Amino acid sequence: MDRHGTDLSLTAKGDSFQLEPRSVIGMLWLQTHFETNTWELICSGAVRLKGESCEALCRDASSAGLNVAKIPAVLAS
């Protein structure tokens, strides 16, 4: 079982991923990686990352011990 659940989620939205903090630890970690003027956008889930940036963020966050959920797009058949 996870020590504290998901810290960050990245949800596929077309050709980008919506970034959402899911814990206080996740938000604090994001504050050390993004400019102050983006925090409100991050808190509201308005930030989207392209594939390469998403992968880099996943690697960095996982290396720092955060739990990251990368959620793929769901296609209806």
Query: Residue 51 is part of which domain span?
Result: 17-71
DSSP letters spanning 2-71: -SS--SEEEEEETTEEEEEE-SHHHHHHHHTTS-GGGHHHHHTT-EEEEHHHHHHHHHHHHHTT--EEEE
Res 75 pLDDT > 80: no
Note whether residue 45 is domain-resident. Answer: yes
Please report the pLDDT score of residue 57 as a whole number. Answer: 94
Note whether residue 30 is domain-resident. Answer: yes
Note whether residue 33 is domain-resident. Answer: yes
Domain count, the chain: 1
Note whether residue 46 is domain-resident. Answer: yes
**46 SS3 class:** coil
29 CA to centre of own chain: 10
Res 7 pLDDT > 70: yes
Note whether residue 5 is domain-resident. Answer: no
Please report the pLDDT score of residue 3 as a whole number. Answer: 54
Per-residue pLDDT tens digits for 8-53: 999 998 889 999 999 999 999 999 988 889 888 988 889 999 989 9
Note whether residue 3 is domain-resident. Answer: no
Q: What pLDDT band is residue 76 in, cutting at 50, 70 and 90?
A: low
Note whether residue 56 is domain-resident. Answer: yes
